[in-house]
Amino acid sequence: MSKTTAINWEVGPIFRALLRNKVGAVLIAIQIAVTMTIIVNSVFIIVERDQQMQRVSGLDEDNTFYLSSLGFGQNFNAKVSIQDDLNMLRNLPGVVDAMQINAIPISGGGWSMGLQTKPGAEYDGVGTAVYMVDQNVLNTLDVELIAGEKFTPTDIRWREPAQGDWPDKIIITKALATSLFPDDEWQTAVGKTVYINDIEPMTIGGIIDQLQAPWIGWDKVENVMLSPEQMDQDSTRYIIRTEPGRRDDLMPQIEELLANSNKNRIIKGMRSLQETRERSYRSHTALIKILSTIMVILTIVTALGIVGMATFSVNQRKKQIGTRRALGASQGAIVRYFMVENLIISTVGVVVGAMLTLGLNIILVNVFNLDKIDWYYIPIGMVVLWLVGLIAVFAPAKKAANIPPALATRTV
């Protein structure tokens, strides 16, 4: 049997020496644990928010905008005005399509209803956003019909003010089909009857791929129903899709055209979908920025703490390092010593950190309704903190390795 081994990592003696000199090491380990806890939970929140922001609304957001028309006076006829406006808008060069709509996706405000697959107040409904649209909906909102039939002009009815009943036929999103009939293939929802207001039947005429509700924070944001009706109301909203690159030219033009075409109304609230997205996700963006800043600062503070502790311990142990060099430690062995020492401290830190991370996540789940953290964030966080420690300790370790062995014979 060989008497020698390749490299001796000195883990045992380093660990035993640390146990006799715990205070500094424990403080750094705690700092690493706390940093890891905050960083891992922050990253999780950031990724989650970012994923929410990456979700597609289904609309042609870059080329879509909307505005409101508020009619007033005895002479204002809403139905005539809406038909005139839509005729004008749809024939305007640069406009792909336009439509009256009751609410704007991802804007924050809209209608919701409950749909159920059996009639009767005793059954629970599935929540869905409701968009009141006409036969131009697919083209205007840039959504794709993936099953069933689209609305024809004869499907579209006028909803009078204060009218409470619903059309016979609707189109729903694939997500809503899955919510309503979780046990069946989504395609089979076409032709089925669902009930609104507990007992009022409606037939599912078609299914579209994707369209988001107005509320980005809602967990069923993909549940959307399209109801074929125009609203006979003095105050209405148009959504307009333009050809690529034409939106910014057309917005002021259309605003002026509409305002001039009928003096009995005012045009207001014009906004692009892009701006709506920015406004809706503003708190997400801000949170991401704040958490990122905190993470960077914490990481730097922790790294500096490690540098400080290692530098202090190098200065304190100069004689010892010189002695080790005299006894045969190469410069590499000295660097390794401090690296291993740091790894031991970091390991304690990240193990405690892993537990604290889970603890904080449980609190966040219970108090703020956040999601449970994915397990793999924890090992990744541990490795990152280990690496931060090793990088931070490297310069002091190099400094230690440069202590001359002749220091051992110097009487201080």
- Find the shortest distance in angstroms from Cβ 398 to another protein: 13
Q: Is 164 in the site for another protein (CB under 8 A)?
A: no
Q: Quick one: tokens of 388?
A: 């931060």
Minimum Å distance from CB 309 to another protein?
Answer: 15
Enumerate the β-bridge partners of residue 147: 207
Stretch that binds another protein, among 1-9, 40-48, 54-62, 360-368 (CB under 8 A): 1-9
Cβ–Cβ under 8 Å, residues 256 and 270: no
Radius of gyration (Cα) for the chain, nearest Å?
33
Binding of another protein at residue 237 (CB under 8 A)?
no
Under rule CB under 8 A, which residues in 328-357 are in contact with another protein? 328-333
Among 112, 117, 203, 320, binds another protein (CB under 8 A): 320
**Shorter beta-carbon distance to another protein: residue 1 or 162:** 1
CB of 15 to another protein, least distance (A): 10
Per DSSP, 285 falls in state: H
Q: How far is the CB of 339 from another protein (least distance, A)?
A: 15
Q: Determine, following the binding rule CB under 8 A, whether residue 379 of this chain makes contact with another protein.
A: no
d(Cα 44, Cα 39) in Å, to the nearest integer?
8
- Applying CB under 8 A, which part among 25-33, 84-92, 111-119, 318-326 lies near another protein? 318-326
Verify binding: residue 7, another protein, rule CB under 8 A: yes
Candidate ranges 16-24, 167-175, 259-267, 283-291; the one touching another protein (CB under 8 A): 16-24
String marking each residue 381-410 x if it binds another protein according to CB under 8 A = -----------------------xxx-xx-
Residue among 114, 91, 84 at smallest CA distance from 197: 114
Q: Minimum CB separation from another protein for residue 16, in Å?
A: 6
For residues 285 and 52, is the Cβ–Cβ distance under 8 A?
Answer: no
Q: Please report, as a single letter, which amino acid is at residue 114.
A: G
Binders of another protein: how many residues, by CB under 8 A? 35
Which residues touch 305 (CB under 8 Å, ≥6 apart)?
Answer: 28, 31
Residue 344, CB half-sphere, CA atoms under 13 Å: how many? Answer: 20
Q: How far apart are alpha carbons 308 and 27 in whole angstroms? A: 12
Q: How far is the CB of 7 from another protein (least distance, A)?
A: 8
Q: In what order do the strands lie in the sheet with 95-100?
A: 95-100, 235-242, 64-71, 265-272
Using the minimum distance from each CB to another protein, give the nearer residue, 98 or 329.
Answer: 329
Rounded distance, CA 26 to CA 305, Å?
12
To 5 degrees, how large is the angle CA 29–CA 30–CA 36?
90
In the bound state with another protein, the residue whose beta carbon lies nearer, of 12 and 120, is 12
Q: Among residues 20, 23, 124, 182, which is the contact residue for another protein, using CB under 8 A?
A: 20
Q: What DSSP assignment string belongs to 221-251?
A: TT-EEEEEEEE--SEEEEEEEE-TT-HHHHH
User: Which CB, 20 or 153, lies closer to another protein?
Assistant: 20
Q: What's 188's DSSP letter?
A: G
Selected from 323, 351, 358, 394, the binder of another protein by CB under 8 A is 323
Residues 51 and 54: their CA atoms lie apart, in Å, by 5
Q: Is 23 in the site for another protein (CB under 8 A)?
A: no
Contact positions toward another protein, by CB under 8 A? 1-8, 10, 12-13, 16-18, 20-21, 319-320, 323-333, 404-406, 408-409, 411
